[in-house]
Structure formats: structure tokens, C-alpha cells
Structure 1
Amino acid sequence: MLTMTYQYALNPTSQQIETMTEWLNICRGVWNYALAERKDWYKSRSCRIDAASIKAEYIIAADAPRPNFALQCKALTEAKKTKPWLKSVQSQVLQQVLKQLENAFTSMWEQKCGFPRFKKLGRMRSFLFPQFEKNPILGNRIKLPVIGYVKIRLSRPIPDGFILKQVRIVRKASGWFAMLSLQCDVNVPDSMPHGHSLGIDLGLLSFLATWDSETIARPKFFIDTQRKLKLLQKRASSKIKGSNNWRKAQAKVARLHEHISNTRSYFHFKTAHHLCNQARMIFAEDLNLKAMSRGMLCKHTLDAGFGQFLDILKWVCSKKDVYFAKVDANGTSQTCPNCQTHTGKKELSQRIHECPNCQYITDRDVAAAQVVVQRGLVAVGHTVLMLSEGKVVGLPVKKESPSFNNLRVARIV
């Protein structure tokens, strides 16, 4: 079963915007109430029965069951009898809010994610219609339950053979969008190892380096706009909170954040397509991104978005029948790709790899990418790539590549 998600811009009327905004506030209230109910139940069991909490007491009957998705859905149905404003929202939309909360707790237990948090005003940005009886798209409009027909900008056609399963309505700084989940009853086989291989090494000085001596400079998406962001945030802080001028200033800050995110995603997609056009096998390091995001260079690491890039690269590889795999990242910068000698730890300021055993000299990131592709070829059972067999390779000379559509690319020759 193949599933894809297409995003389209919406052009709702003022009345529809008011309705969807009200729905988001109601969904936020349901989330906060259900989370508070779960949190109180856990805190009532956090101390011994003969002891008392220093801060507060949470007295709940001992036989009270743990709140879960099924129990809270039943409670929601009963709450609609006393709170008629809950009936204004389509029933399945509120159920999906409770299901999303259940998934958040499951992720906390199984994937070691953080404890779910309460959502303040404006933090609930989307709601989901989980199913449709028939295709809701008619021409340039989409029919949403209760809301009615909403104008949609079909920037690309929906592929033939796909069925619309779900629609998520998202509010962004630039407007309202519809995320369409499309499903087709077809099995797409995984790509098998074949053809030319490519190993990449991700870094902060260069966004990535390949084993064949190509480096791509790292655009500083957040750093370059940090000064403008600081100015907009300073202007917003001087406004009276809740006023119209305050809302306008906050909207400018949100639009700048969205612009940063869009430029980062665009760069990641362009880079992923550039790599997939060069090889049939791509190998990357299996990095500990969580530890990297907490280090000394955390701001620059998060600005580069390595995790998002690897996810995008994997998706583009699946579309273009390119085999993608991750290899062990331990010691890639401390191993000589020519003779496999352990050269010892290198400081960050040391940008040249020079092997004391075979005198192999090259760029540090390129050497790490060569080790990555060697490990990848071994993992798939192919012949290990041979390098210069002990010959000294000249130091890198970088030059701009005009063929990469305004992305700064340097090639080592």
C-alpha cells in the first residue's frame, strides 16, 4: 500500500476562517482537559499511600481506571450534553485530538519522548478529518464536513489511481493549507544495491562532502536572518499584548520563521535530487542527531537540519530507484580510507587528513566520505572501493560549480 501526502493552499472566506479558528480553540480546550485528567491520575499515584506530596494533593479513587483513548471518548460524548459548544465541531475531529494525545503518551513510553505539554492560545494549528465517503474535491473546491465548500489551489494534479483518505487542515503564518493523504493499492519494491555508489559526510564547515571530492557549502538559514528576526521580536515586545498592532507584529515574526523553514526545505530537496542524479547507491552516516543538537555548536547543527535532510534524501531515493542506507559513524574521521589505519583523534581545526602510514593526503570531510562508502559497499556485499594505492593526492582546490542552480558547490580537483 503506497501512501503520499500532497499539500495545497486554501482560499477560505472570512466566515470559514472564523469557523476553523473556533474549531482550533475548541480542539485546544479538549486537548488541555484530557491532558490534565491524565496528569492528575498519574500524580495521584506518584507517592506512597501513607505519605503526602509537599506541593499538592491529588486524591483520586484507588479503583479509578487510567484515562485512555476509549474512556475519554465516552466522556467526550457525555460532555456534549452539558456543553453544547462541543457539538459545533465535527465529532471525528475531536476524537482525533484524543487519539493524537494517546499517540503522544505512547511515544513517551516507547520512544523516550518528552511528556506531552499543554497548548496555549495559538499552539493548536491543525485538525484532521479522518475519513470521507466519497471524493470531496469538486473542481477547484473541496467539501469539508460542516464547514462546506472551500476554494483550493490545485497546484499539481492528484495522480490517477489514488484515493483520498484523510484531510488535515493546517494554519500557517502565510495562510490555511490542506494536507491530503492519498493512498493507492500498489506495492512498491525497495531499491536494490546497484550501479555507481556515493558516500556522503555531513558537517558544519561544508554541509556535505562526497567521496569523489565534491563539497557543498552550508547555507546559514537562521544565522543570516537572525538580525532581522531580533529586530521584529524587539518591535513585537514593545506592543501592548493582545492589541491589533501586537498581533500584526507577531504575524511578521511567524512569517519570517516560516520563510526560514521553507528555504531550508528547498535547499534539502535540491541537494537530495542533485545527489540522486549522480549515483544509484547513496550511503550516509548514522549520526546521533539528538546528542549533536545539545553540543557546543547546537544552534548551527539545528540550523543545518541534518535529520530533515536525511529523511528527504531517503524519500527522494525511493522515488528515483536509488538505494539508500546508513552506516556506522564511529571513527569515520579517524580512519585512513587508503590503508584503513587508525590515525587518532583530529581536532576540529584540523581540516586535512594526512595518514602517517601511507602518506595519503586529502580533505578531512572527503576522507570521511570515502570511509563511509567503503563501509556501505562492505555491508551490501560489493567490492570495496580502491583509492590511490598509497600515492599522495594533492591538496584540495575549491572552485564554484555553475551547474547547481544558485547553490554554492565546490569541487575538489
Structure 2
Amino acid sequence: MTLTINYRYRLHPDPIQEQTMLHWLEISRKVYNYALREIKDWVNSRKCSLDYCSLSKEYIIPANKPIPTYYNQQNALPKAKKEFPELREVPSQVLQTTIRRLHDGWNYFQQRGYGFPRFKKFGQMKSMLFPQFKTNPITGWQISLPKIGIIPINLHRPIPEGFVVKQARVLRKADRWFVVLTLESEVSRPEAQPHGEAIGIDLGLEKFLTTSDREFIERPRFLTS
């Protein structure tokens, strides 16, 4: 059995690290909006009337082209990095989780029928996710993040023994930085051993319940004195 908990800590990046993370959030916002634009264009192209065309614009997308999926857009990232070199500055997994966040919102919209994902304006991308680590990123009062380096962390709550860091979400609130660590541990849960004997219970009107052992429980009368 896997036990998962989340702990949030304050980060204290230096000015260079802070500018790097702000730049990454802006790049992630652009990736999010571009992927959303592809989905919206596909959806709008399926709304075109068959008997006439709009005088202002039309979405020209082949009828046999499938809707952009998470895997299609994720696999398009290497090609996009050649066209937009700034994408190389951000770890690939961070960009992949950005696209995953979009498709989680898209799937949620399809399930409930409202809440279509919206484009994010400048400054609205507040967090980025580092989904995995090869080694423990925590050393003393510091955390090591890919391509950023070592950042001081206010580890006010120690990580419980037996737990490992699975992922880290860096988020910005106002002018402060935080990290939410997802910790996991494998724990053994003992199986409940049966004891005694099984009985049947029947709920009734005259008697509150009757058991197969012919035990009767009277109906409680809470409003009588």
C-alpha cells in the first residue's frame, strides 16, 4: 500500500534563480496557450455549417484529422524546440506536465459539460511541476531543482522517516515562492482477521432490528420523555 502526503515549504531563491523561474512560468504559459489554441481550432472547425461559409473566417482543418491529444502535443515538443529555441531552457518534463494540466482541464470539461479551459494572461501561470527525481533533492536546508540549482528551503517540518520525494510543484504567491513536495512511502496494512460468527440482521417497524440469533432491539424513541 502506498501512502501519499503533501508538505508545503517556503523557498528563498536568489535574484537570478527567481528571474529564471519567472521566465519558465512565462514559457509554460505560452506552451499552454498554444496547445489550447490547437484544441479550440479543432473544435471550432467542427462547428462550421455545411450549407454556407462565413464571410469573415473559416477554420480549414481536414475532416479526418483527429482532435489533438496529450500524447500528440507532447510528442510535438521536440520539433517545437527546434523552431522556438527558448523552449530548450525549460526541462522537458516541466513542459509535458503543463500540457498534461491542460488536458486534465479538457477532460474535466467533457465530463461535466461546462468549464472550457481558458487562455492564461501574462502572469496567470503560477506554478510548474517537476514530476520526478532520480535522487533525493533535499539536502539539509536546501533543495536541488533541475537547471535551477540549489535553493534554500525553510524545512520547518521534517520529512517523515521512510518517505521519499516523488515530485515537487514550485508555485508563486504574491512575491513569495513555495514548493509543495509530494512524499510517498510503502506501508504494510495488516488484513483484518475474521472472528466470531456471522449473523443476519433484519430492520423492521415494530422492532428496530432482529438478529438471526433471535435478539430483538427496541426502536429508540428520542422525542419521548
Same fold, judged at TM 0.5 (above): yes
Instruction: Please say if 1:96 is aligned against 2:97.
Output: yes
**Number of residue-to-residue matches in the alignment:** 198
1:66 Cα shift? Answer: 1.3
Give the number of the structure with larger relative contact order, counting CA–CA contacts within 8 Å between residues 6 or more apart: 2
- Could you say which structure has the higher helix fraction? 1
Instruction: Please say if 1:16 is aligned against 2:2.
Output: no
CA deviations on 1:105-127 (whole Å, 9 max, x unpaired) are: 11111233400000001110000
Letter in 2 for 1:93: V
Cα pair distance change 1:133/1:104, threshold 3 Å = same
Letter in 1 for 2:28: C
Cα pair distance change 1:56/1:136, threshold 3 Å = same
- Could you say which structure has the higher strand fraction? 2
Unaligned stretches of 5+ residues in structure 2: 191-216
SS in 2 for 1:5: strand
Cα pair distance change 1:386/1:187, threshold 3 Å = farther
1:174 Cα shift? Answer: 4.9
Instruction: Please say if 1:126 is aligned against 2:127.
Output: yes
The answer to whether the Cα contact below 8 Å between 1:2 and 1:187 also exists between their aligned partners in 2 is no
Instruction: Please say if 1:60 is aligned against 2:61.
Output: yes
Unaligned stretches of 5+ residues in structure 1: 190-381, 392-413
Equivalence for 1:149: 150
Q: How does 1:279-294 map to 2 (within 5 A)?
A: none
SS in 2 for 1:160: coil
1:47 Cα shift? Answer: 2.4
Q: Distance in 1 between matches of 2:223 and 2:40?
A: 62
Letter in 1 for 2:131: P
Cα pair distance change 1:384/1:173, threshold 3 Å = farther
Q: Distance in 2 between matches of 1:164 and 1:384?
A: 53
Instruction: Please say if 1:387 is aligned against 2:222.
Output: yes
- Following TM superposition, the consecutive aligned residue runs of length 4 or more in structure 1 with deviations greater than 6 angstroms are 382-385
Equivalence for 2:163: 162
Of 93-102 and 48-57, the range deviating more from structure 2: 48-57
Letter in 2 for 1:153: N
Equivalence for 2:42: 41
The answer to whether the Cα contact below 8 Å between 2:48 and 2:58 also exists between their aligned partners in 1 is no
The answer to whether the Cα contact below 8 Å between 2:4 and 2:184 also exists between their aligned partners in 1 is yes
1:62 Cα shift? Answer: 1.9
RMSD between superposed Cα atoms in Å: 2.0
CA deviations on 1:211-255 (whole Å, 9 max, x unpaired) are: xxxxxxxxxxxxxxxxxxxxxxxxxxxxxxxxxxxxxxxxxxxxx
Q: Distance in 2 between matches of 1:129 and 1:17?
A: 16
Cα pair distance change 1:157/1:51, threshold 3 Å = same
What percentage of aligned pairs have identical amino acids? 47
Equivalence for 2:139: 138
Q: Distance in 2 between matches of 1:35 and 1:385?
A: 59
1:19 Cα shift? Answer: 0.2
SS in 1 for 2:76: helix
The answer to whether the Cα contact below 8 Å between 1:2 and 1:188 also exists between their aligned partners in 2 is no
Equivalence for 1:31: 32
Cα pair distance change 1:112/1:160, threshold 3 Å = farther
SS in 2 for 1:96: helix
For normalisation by structure 2, the TM-score amounts to: 0.82
Q: Distance in 1 between matches of 2:220 and 2:144?
A: 56
Letter in 1 for 2:222: L
SS in 2 for 1:179: strand
SS in 2 for 1:117: coil
The answer to whether the Cα contact below 8 Å between 1:11 and 1:151 also exists between their aligned partners in 2 is yes
